Amino acid sequence: MTAPLPDLLIDPVVRAALAEDLGRAGDITAMACIPAEAHLDAVFAVRGRGVTAGLACVRLAILAMDPEAQFETLVEDGSLLAPGTHLAKVRAKARALLSAERTALNLLGRLSGVATLTRAYVDAVAGTGARIVDTRKTTPGLRHLEKYAVRCGGGVNHRFGLDDAILIKDNHVAACGGVSQALTRARAFAGHLIKIEVEVDSLDQLKEALPHRPDVIMLDNFSLDDLRRAVEIVGDTITLEASGGVNLSTVRAIAETGVQVISVGALTHSAPVLDIGLDAV
């Protein structure tokens, strides 16, 4: 199973989401209808088939509203789920639990949706040796959580931000005057721990990049024939990443060209929310 994120990283996101929902006066429906001393027992249950991610968000949302709540996870993040599976059970003050419900479900459903879609891509390329990786096309403020969800689905993280690797894309190349110039400047700038990746959009650009020995070459919107040709040219001397035009109907054929990495923006920008609900018991 995927190593969990520290609560320290999750709690600020959860509390900001709760504050957005509670507004200026708190949950006036719960206060109007439910006695202050009332408690509620409930379970979080999945309605469809999928992969779970984000149970810590649920726990922290409930505990933020009721520090004395009893919360028990019944599955681990990264688990394959059948419809009807109970993910967690809780006993808490009723007002607190219902005030936390939507925030908890929003985060859990979103992250589980990312994990579920990632698993579909990972399964689609099984046996090819290619790895499915995410991108920076994430929801602002949720990147660390969404990339965690990708790992829960069996995917691999690309860079987290602009500061942890050099990735020279087409507009960088245009601004520098060419692939060779961009790579020369990047190599002079990079420290010994910084990896360099360059995006190319043709076999000619690929050949221009090779003498500079980047760590990774991204093959952007290459045809299958050009992907195969790129693999023949480069062999296993440099990691090749395919990007662009990737979906569940094309990813297997892309993987079979021999590229080592396939980046998929849809993992985080287009994942459907996994349907999960809170049921009183």
- Single out the residue of 277, 278, 279, 274 nearest to residue 53, CA to CA: 274
Backbone angles phi, psi at 142, to 5 degrees: -115, 10
- Cα separation of 102 and 97, whole Å? 10
131 flagged as catalytic: no
207 flagged as catalytic: no
- Cα separation of 36 and 40, whole Å? 12
> Is residue 61 within 8 Å of 14, Cβ to Cβ?
yes
Q: Show Cβ contacts of residue 188 under 8 Å, excluding neighbours closer than 6 positions.
A: none
- Cα separation of 120 and 154, whole Å? 9
Strand bridging mode 70-73 / 86-93? antiparallel
Q: Distance of CA 262 to CAs 16, 60, 126, 223, 255, Å?
A: 34, 34, 13, 14, 7
Question: For the chain, how long is the longest CA-to-CA vector?
Answer: 72
- Cα separation of 56 and 247, whole Å? 30
Q: Tokens in use for 137?
A: 């096309």
Which member of 47, 102, 136, 185 is catalytic? 102
Which member of 89, 91, 136, 137 is catalytic? 137
220 flagged as catalytic: yes
Q: Tokens in use for 23?
A: 């507004």
27 flagged as catalytic: no
Which member of 47, 169, 185, 207 is catalytic? 169
- Cα separation of 42 and 90, whole Å? 5
137 flagged as catalytic: yes
Residues serving a catalytic function are: 102, 137, 169, 199, 220
